Structure 1
């Protein structure tokens, strides 16, 4: 049954601009991965890692109060951002060697300065941020551009279908304590949308049948990435990860689903064969 109150209700559609911003950021990543290669691709992902790491450090109270998440104020753990960026660049420019251990540098450097209660949180989220950039470059160069575009497509379809069907159909909340607006109807719509994408790619010869089950699984992981970041922001007492994107929050707000999806894809690749996307 359609929730008629959702139609024309400005409150329920108030964050539509944020969804559009998320889509644009994802498309920007796709463009970066499409046109940039070699050193430029690696440096671009290193910069993104540095920015998101800065936001993480601020939210986990790294030597400053968590509520002051501003770029030019006193509460800016730019030292960790710089370390993270350099570590990511070293790991990516030495792909295939033990240089990936450089990713541990910002984790070890930041643990002593993080708020005591958030040290585990800082380490887990920090590793996730660095692994995502590492994984995206690996996917681009080992599996090709179409594989990355499929991955981004799953996230975009999940987010779009989840948003509109969740607002229109309404119903029980998926995890109200962490994400008050996310509904079961929207969550399931994301799974179905991702599955349809997998079926279409398979039927048109753009990918193999594994996409049919891998796509909704990656979609679910992306949704969990969104939930995880919501939990982090609630724990830090902030609405957005930063104000770097005026009116739309920060980079972590736009990359949360990407983080979950990429990590899940990397795990699937360790356990079994990843789907082929032509």
Structure 2
């Protein structure tokens, strides 16, 4: 967005961001049942929003699919068994049994959202608090610096056909912010020296998660996934970058070692 853009949404955006940060960081630090409860809540709300967007004439069905997603997440987190992980696909498959816009996209994105919700818990409980705090800090830094960099500097658009507000200046500012987070964790938490580069890659994955959700909304002709969060739109609007970042970290961990902190 150009430097002449208004800042009217800044106050509600900041206040809602603070509230989300308090709840989110509190759950991450507490771990256990609290982070599990957050994952269940996010799974249910994200699937509800996606179902409502792709079949707006059936709001009751969207609520049922959101509840199904929450229950599936409870089952997954209760057992942590490989077979139970297949339940991440349940809401998407169930929602595709009836006609809706972009049925295949619905299945893919719903499954990605479920994997990300589970991944937050798995990373927190499996690798420790520092890893998940690093990931969240990377996404937040990328989002904040991207927001202010894009508005203050402006310039060419990153992908105008899909996300007309995003600029190259904001995108690069987001990478820089993420790299600085990586350097800070290297200095303060004993993380490996290459964390700054991985942080920039995670930021890029988060930006692609944002772009993916923007593309879906553009195809469906909606501005926000819902109006739950003042200044932010819906839960998917706020956590789309987390979905991309968590999926990237999971895939990275399947091939290459994830960073170890405190070593």
TM-score by length of 2: 0.91
Match for 2:36 among 25, 32, 42?
Answer: 42
Over 4 Å off, 4+ runs: none
1:55-102 Cα offsets, whole Å, 9 max, x none, are 00011127x27xxxxxxxx56521111111111111111114321112
Deviation at 1:18, TM superposition (A): 6.0
1:210-237 Cα offsets, whole Å, 9 max, x none, are 3121100000011111111111111111
Deviation at 1:13, TM superposition (A): 2.4
Q: For 1:225 and 1:19, how far apart are their aligned partners in 2?
A: 20
Q: For 2:246 and 2:28, how far apart are their aligned partners in 1?
A: 14
Deviation at 1:26, TM superposition (A): 4.5
Match for 1:239 among 223, 247, 251?
Answer: 223
* Equivalences for residues 95-106 of structure 1 within 5 A: 95-106=80-91
Q: Does 1:261 align with 2:245?
A: yes
Q: For 1:26 and 1:224, how far apart are their aligned partners in 2?
A: 22
Q: Does the 8 Å CA contact 1:60/1:121 hold for their aligned counterparts? A: no
Distance 1:213-1:246 versus aligned 2 partners, 3 A rule: closer
Q: Does 1:174 align with 2:158?
A: yes
Q: For 1:26 and 1:259, how far apart are their aligned partners in 2?
A: 17
Q: Does the 8 Å CA contact 2:10/2:231 hold for their aligned counterparts? A: no
Q: Any gaps of 5 or more consecutive residues in structure 1? A: 66-73
Q: Does the 8 Å CA contact 1:221/1:257 hold for their aligned counterparts? A: yes
Match for 1:79 among 64, 67, 73?
Answer: 64
Q: Any gaps of 5 or more consecutive residues in structure 2? A: none
Distance 1:151-1:233 versus aligned 2 partners, 3 A rule: same
Distance 1:61-1:219 versus aligned 2 partners, 3 A rule: same
1:102-153 Cα offsets, whole Å, 9 max, x none, are 22222221112241x5111101110111001111111101111111111111
Which residue pairs with 1:53 in the alignment? 47
Q: For 1:48 and 1:193, how far apart are their aligned partners in 2?
A: 26
Which residue pairs with 1:32 in the alignment? 27
Q: Does the 8 Å CA contact 1:84/1:105 hold for their aligned counterparts? A: yes
Q: For 1:171 and 1:140, how far apart are their aligned partners in 2?
A: 38
Q: Does the 8 Å CA contact 1:268/1:274 hold for their aligned counterparts? A: yes
Q: Does the 8 Å CA contact 1:150/1:277 hold for their aligned counterparts? A: no
Q: Does 1:124 align with 2:108?
A: yes
Deviation at 1:22, TM superposition (A): 4.3
Q: Which moved more, 1:248-257 or 1:214-223?
A: 248-257
